[in-house]
Amino acid sequence: MTMDCCEMRTSLVTTRRALLLGGAAFAAWAYVPKFARAADGRDPRLIVVILRGALDGLATVAPVGDPDYAGLHGAIALTSTGPHAAVMLDSFFALHPSMPEFARMVRENHAAVIHAVATSYRDRSHFDGQDVLESGYAGPGKVQSGWLNRALESLPRGERVMSGLAIGPTTPLVLRGAAPTVAWAPAALPQAADDTAARLVDLYRHRDPALAAALSQGLQLDKVAQGDDMKPKPGTNNAGAMKLAARGAAKLMSADDGPRIAALAFDGWDTHANEGGPVGRLATLLSGLDGALAEFETGLGERWRDTVIVVATEFGRTARINGTDGTDHGTATVALLAGGAVKGGRVIADWPGLKPADLFEARDLAPTTDLCAVIKGVLHDHLGLSERVLAEAVFPDSAGVKAMSGLVG
């Protein structure tokens, strides 16, 4: 069958059609399989947020109780006192002041921090680090599918739609693979008028009924996500874009027949220079992330109680500040969990210390927790995937990494 110029087929799922119209990607919901609900009757949602560029975990959740922290992080170190004081999460760790919503979620036991965490990757290439983070393999360049897509593919089939939602102009590697996904991004271009869209649907109804059905469903999908509150304001920056993406995704995921699993990536976290402490470049980025988490909470409504958001990055940054008031590529960092299903209210850390002898390769926060164990714990307790499936299909050859228990209620 020949393809019309307005039609495109995904290379990953040959049975799914998508139409590009006015800058927004629409997908055929009719082709998305259904999966069983959790055994206890819950209707879980899982959102994975990738922070590309390597988040400074020591500046996000600062170990202010470590006597070596302030000297290493210098001018960008957080403090527990002063006009821009960090928010104490316990007697040792303090949260960046640009994340008041996340701090509230921690107080409400709906958010948690895992510190000194890293993937198995120990070099410092963004490209390779992101590949390992999203593919779920121990080394880079091994596969062009992601662990979240393989988790989706492994879910038992049933009555509930369990599609994957890719948020943004491209599908992150973590959600690429054989399992069908749908895509949505806030419109950057003017959208086609309703009458134009209706004429296209009518045209394809006669020439290609399946595509017509897909287009109709896609248009409905975009109507759900878009609205007056989704129009970018003049001067919208990275922080505002994060909030808009989360707002639209939450609208889609709150629907009874909406996707249950989503992935999105936020760029710009490579803070080699002018990172700033409580105010500055990192503060702006963290404010955007904080706002995005709050948008998910508000937009998901009653679904929030069955939601887990995992925030992860490819690696951390150096313990010591560099000469341009920034930090260079490092190793261990933080992972953040948020959502009504999270057993929160805590910082989970096997703290390695920041003395010179304790640093990894004499420069980085040493990793003491495998990020794979954190994600496995969420997938096992939240979505019900077995340890065998996690070790063989989702994170191949990872039997030696045991799932962290007790992260999800």
| pLDDT tens digits for range 53-72 | 999 999 999 999 999 999 99
Residue 344 CA from chain centroid, whole number: 18
143 vs 12, 58, 134, 183, 299, CA distance in Å?
13, 31, 10, 21, 34
For residue 376, give the CATH number of its domain: 3.40.720
Q: Is residue 256 part of a domain?
A: yes
Instruction: State the pLDDT confidence band at 143, using cuts at 50, 70 and 90.
Output: confident
pLDDT tens for 317-374 read 999 999 999 999 999 999 999 999 999 999 999 999 999 999 999 999 999 999 999 9
pLDDT at 189: 39
Question: Once rounded to an integer, what is the mean pLDDT over residues 234-251?
Answer: 83
Instruction: State the pLDDT confidence band at 163, using cuts at 50, 70 and 90.
Output: confident
**Does the pLDDT value for residue 25 go beyond 90?**
no
Indicate the average pLDDT of the chain.
Answer: 84
Specify the pairing of strand 45-51 against strand 261-266. Answer: parallel
Q: Is the dihedral of CA 397, 399, 404, 405 positive or negative?
A: positive
Strands (E), 33-161: 34-35, 45-51, 61-62, 87-88, 94-95, 111-118, 160-161
**Does the pLDDT value for residue 74 go beyond 70?**
yes
Q: Is residue 8 part of a domain?
A: no
Question: Once rounded to an integer, what is the mean pLDDT over residues 154-179?
Answer: 85
**Does the pLDDT value for residue 26 go beyond 90?**
no
Question: Once rounded to an integer, what is the mean pLDDT over residues 45-50?
Answer: 97
pLDDT at 28: 38
Phi, psi for 144 (deg, rounded to 5): -110, 35
Evaluate whether 396 touches 120 at the Cβ level (below 8 Å): no
Domain total for the chain? 1
Alpha helices in 43-139 (DSSP H): 57-60, 69-73, 100-107, 126-135
pLDDT at 3: 37
Provide the domain limits for residue 100.
32-191+226-394
pLDDT tens for 102-114 read 999 999 999 999 9
Q: Is residue 174 part of a domain?
A: yes
Q: Is residue 135 part of a domain?
A: yes
Percent of the chain past pLDDT 70, that is, above it, reads 77
Question: Once rounded to an integer, what is the mean pLDDT over residues 378-400?
Answer: 96
Q: Is residue 58 part of a domain?
A: yes
Q: Is residue 24 part of a domain?
A: no
DSSP string spanning 325-340? Answer: SS--B-S-EEEEEEST
pLDDT at 83: 84
pLDDT at 157: 76
pTM given for the model: 0.83
Residue 103 CA from chain centroid, whole number: 18
Specify the pairing of strand 94-95 against strand 160-161. Answer: unpaired
**pLDDT top residue among 237 and 245:** 245
Q: Is the dihedral of CA 361, 365, 370, 371 positive or negative?
A: negative
Q: Is residue 361 part of a domain?
A: yes
Alpha helices in 232-302 (DSSP H): 238-253, 281-300
Output the six-digit token pair for 16.
């799914």
Instruction: State the pLDDT confidence band at 237, using cuts at 50, 70 and 90.
Output: low
pLDDT at 221: 55
Question: Once rounded to an integer, what is the mean pLDDT over residues 240-253?
Answer: 94
Instruction: State the pLDDT confidence band at 144, using cuts at 50, 70 and 90.
Output: confident
Q: Is residue 84 part of a domain?
A: yes
**pLDDT top residue among 285 and 218:** 285
Nearest to 219 by CA among 2, 19, 12: 19
Evaluate whether 35 touches 162 at the Cβ level (below 8 Å): yes
Specify the pairing of strand 94-95 against strand 369-370. Answer: unpaired
